[in-house]
Amino acid sequence: MKFGYFCNTTNWNKKPYAEILDNARDITTYCDQNNWNSIWFTEHHFNHEGMESCTNPLMM
């Protein structure tokens, strides 16, 4: 069985952008260290919610 994680970067609580990136990095590190097969990020541009999208630094 393979496991993957869908990382949702929705920012309903208006957290600082750096905190959102740190959280996503922590989740990604955990998945990598525990042999998860994949991690997925959204990439939506011009969202009306603001920070729900995944920007290029995280995708790199």
Chain segment 8-56, per-residue pLDDT in tens: 777 778 888 888 888 889 999 999 999 999 988 776 655 555 555 555 5
Range of the domain at 24: 4-59
- Residue 23's φ and ψ, nearest 5 degrees, are -65, -45
Q: Are 44 and 9 in contact (CB under 8 A)?
A: no
Give pLDDT, residue 31. 94
- What six digits make up the tokens of 58? 């995280």
- Residue 50's φ and ψ, nearest 5 degrees, are 100, -80
Give pLDDT, residue 55. 56
pTM score: 0.66
Give pLDDT, residue 36. 95
Give pLDDT, residue 12. 75
* Whole-number Å distance between alpha carbons of 23 and 15: 11
If one counts the domains in the chain, the total is 1
